[in-house]
Homo-oligomer: A and B are copies of this chain.
Amino acid sequence: MGASIAAAVSSAGHEVIGVASGRSLATIDRAREAQMTLVETLEEAISRVDVVLSICPPEAALDVAHEVQATGYDGIYVDGNAISPETAAAIGKLFDNNFVDGGIVGPPAWRAGATRFYLSGAMAKDVVVLFADSLVTARAISGGAGAASAVKMCYAAYTKGSSALVLAIRALAEDNGVTETLLAEWDISQKGMRDSSERSALGTSPKAWRFAGEMREIAATFNAAGLPNGFHLAAAEIYERMAHFKNDDPARLEQVIEALLPKR
């Protein structure tokens, strides 16, 4: 996601600077393809920018923010990560009115109209302009810091939550020896579930390793609202069991089912 967002900002006429230190070769290659200028250290990058954009796995978001704050940076800080409004608020405190909360919905932005970047907070409109005429549709929304993260949490709560649910159900049917009957029934009364369960396996398996943290952020968001958090704690466990598919080809459903069921 980060590379496509950088490419969008670059295509809108801005220089995008990334930090090479501690990154994998694959990440460095993607950054170069996205027209990013790479520098060695965070301090060097910070000295050259007006806006910092954090796009990382959700569990790293707070650490990244602390590292940037520790440099004495006093420009706009945008957190674009899949974090709870509470985590966003904790990050926001580090940057006061310069904090912009972001939530990205959609696939990596390599085609127009597919990816929206919701932004909230006092300076949200200053970030929207960075994406003018780019492949990313940036939208400032009301509600203050936390609102954009809440949109992301609610959105992914269904898409990734229901994918985890359907994969768990396919594993449950297999464990109970009723797969064929369930599929025949779905073909009658829940048309599309057979295909969608197979597509969920292919679509989520390579990314499952980083969905677990996102599911925990969503669970925290439910908890803060006084709603049950079990849907997404369960989804986190499903995705954790699939974490080893990282960097593999998309896994077929049979492989996912094998990963989900305890060995007997």
Contact = CB atoms under 8 A, between A and B. Distances in A.
Interface string A169-207: 101110111100110011011100100000000000000
A41 to B, nearest CB: 37
Interface string A246-264: 0000000000000011100
Contact of A231 (B143, B188, B225, B231): B231
A107 to B, nearest CB: 10
Interface in A195-234: 221-222, 225-231, 233-234
A34 interface: no
Contacts of A169: 154, 157-158
Residues of A contacting B: mostly: helix
Interface in A159-174: 159, 161-162, 164-166, 168-169, 171-173
Contacts of A230: 229-231, 233-234, 237
B165 A177 contact: no
Nearest to A113: B188
A121 interface: no
A116 B172 contact: no
Nearest to A173: B154
A58 B141 CA distance: 45
This chain: copies in complex: 2
Interface of A: 85, 105-106, 116, 118, 141, 143, 146-147, 150-151, 153-155, 157-159, 161-162, 164-166, 168-169, 171-173, 175-178, 181-182, 185-186, 188-190, 193, 221-222, 225-231, 233-235, 237-238, 260-262
Given A118-B185, A157-B172, A228-B238, 16 more contacts: A143-B176, A143-B177, A143-B178, A143-B181, A151-B178, A151-B182, A153-B176, A158-B165, A161-B165, A165-B165, A165-B231, A172-B222, A226-B262, A228-B233, A230-B231, A230-B233
27 contacts: A116-B185, A118-B181, A118-B185, A141-B178, A141-B181, A143-B176, A143-B178, A146-B176, A147-B176, A147-B177, A150-B173, A150-B176, A150-B178, A154-B169, A154-B172, A154-B173, A154-B178, A155-B185, A157-B165, A157-B172, A158-B169, A162-B162, A165-B231, A168-B222, A228-B237, A230-B230, A230-B237
